[in-house]
Amino acid sequence: MHETSDNGLEAPAAISRMAGRSGQGQTRPGQVSGILRLMRPHQWVKNAFVAAPLFFTPAALSPVNLALVLAGMMAFSLVASAVYILNDYVDQEADRSHPVKCRRPLASGEVANGTALGLFTALLGLGLVVSYALSPLFGALALTYFIINIGYSFGLKHVSIIDVLLITLGFTLRVYAGAVLIQVPPSVWIIVCTGLVALFIALAKRRDDLVLSLGGEHRRSLGGYSKPFLDTAVAIVLSALLISYIIYTTDRDVRIRLGTEHLFLTIPFVLAGIMRYLQIVLVEERSGAPTTLVLSDRFLITAIALWAVSFSILIHW
């Protein structure tokens, strides 16, 4: 789920304006890098959640399922990029007043609106076609993801609490979609932990918006948040996440299904990752771009890598 800013447009009006201005400008050589940034390929890492059911189900691992999951991740990435483009178009006026978002391709005028419309249509169409080709149910989940994003972008993002819950729903939909591809029921623990991780990241982003002194004029939902509220919410969510993961690694049925008694050995890496992200949010106050942090902070990269390697060794060998 992508976060957008308030500009007061309704969905039909915004899309109509996109169509009306589709002829504005032609693609210039200098637009190529802007088009790539508009698609935000670095955000595709979020679609790794589609692979979660396969990662946590060793018995389902096979070349066929691996190929299906990779194709599913790409399909979700195409749909997600279409959403980013639509959101950027809708928010371009408000983004110009944001200290960071003003450099986005549409807000800065680097990419023409007509180019953005054509790219949006192509990515969405291709993403949905591939999704339905993989599985009708997977395609329905991808379409549901897109529809939720439309609702979020054109109204629900302005409602505090609902906005972060919808972001959370977007991540859990990815997990369900991945489970559909390999035809296994998603573990309740995967759903719970995924939801809590996504909710924490969304709350941290809202806190960062407040730190940047972005008020209700930039995003109306911020009027329903305060630092004390968000700090308390973050503490609750992280506590729930850590407890859920501890229960997951020590649950008897999980240990039998995965064939290992030592999943608890991965707990320190999860704890280290949580504490580092919390340090970034509360001490360094720079949680504005979660994906960038995960891909650039050495401590987080190390914690995630050690967790993934140790977990893989325990359940696959």
Q: Is 224 helix (H, G, I), strand (E, B) or coil?
A: helix
CA nearest to 168, candidates 131, 142, 203, 134: 203
Q: What's the mean pLDDT when you consider all of the chain?
A: 83
Say which CATH class 1-185 falls into.
mainly alpha
CA nearest to 65, candidates 12, 134, 16: 134
Range name among 81-95, 97-111, 201-215, 275-289 with the lowest pLDDT average: 97-111
One-letter amino acid for residue 235 of the chain: A
In the Cβ-directed half-sphere of 5, how many Cα atoms lie within 13 Å? 23
Range name among 6-15, 154-163, 229-238, 308-317 with the lowest pLDDT average: 6-15
Q: What is the mean pLDDT of residues 4-11?
A: 40
Length of the chain: 317
pLDDT, tens digit, 9 for 90 and up, residues 40-86: 888 888 899 999 999 998 889 899 999 999 999 999 999 999 998 88
Query: Given a cut of 90, is residue 22 above it in pLDDT?
Result: no
pLDDT score, position 95: 67
Query: Given a cut of 50, is residue 219 above it in pLDDT?
Result: yes
Other residues' Cβ atoms within 10 Å of the Cβ of residue 119: 18
One-letter amino acid for residue 165 of the chain: L
Q: Rounded CA gap, 294 and 306, in Å? A: 14
Q: What ranges do the domains of the chain cover?
A: 1-185, 187-317
Q: How confident is the model at residue 180 (pLDDT cuts 50, 70, 90)?
A: very high
Q: Which residue has the higher pLDDT, 4 or 295?
A: 295
Q: What is the pTM of this model?
A: 0.80
Q: How confident is the model at residue 28 (pLDDT cuts 50, 70, 90)?
A: low
One-letter amino acid for residue 64 of the chain: V
pLDDT score, position 23: 41
Q: Rounded CA gap, 242 and 266, in Å? A: 12
pLDDT score, position 105: 74
Report yes or no: 60 and 88 within 8 Å, Cβ to Cβ: no
CA nearest to 149, candidates 157, 140, 141, 137: 157
Q: In Å, what is the CA distance from 101 to each residue of 26, 40, 88?
A: 23, 13, 9
Q: What is the DSSP string of 153-206?
A: HTTGGGSTTHHHHHHHHHHHHHHHHHHHHHT-PPPHHHHHHHHHHHHHHHHHHH
pLDDT score, position 288: 63
Query: Given a cut of 70, is residue 19 above it in pLDDT?
Result: no
Q: Rounded CA gap, 121 and 67, in Å? A: 26
Q: Rounded CA gap, 148 and 131, in Å? A: 17
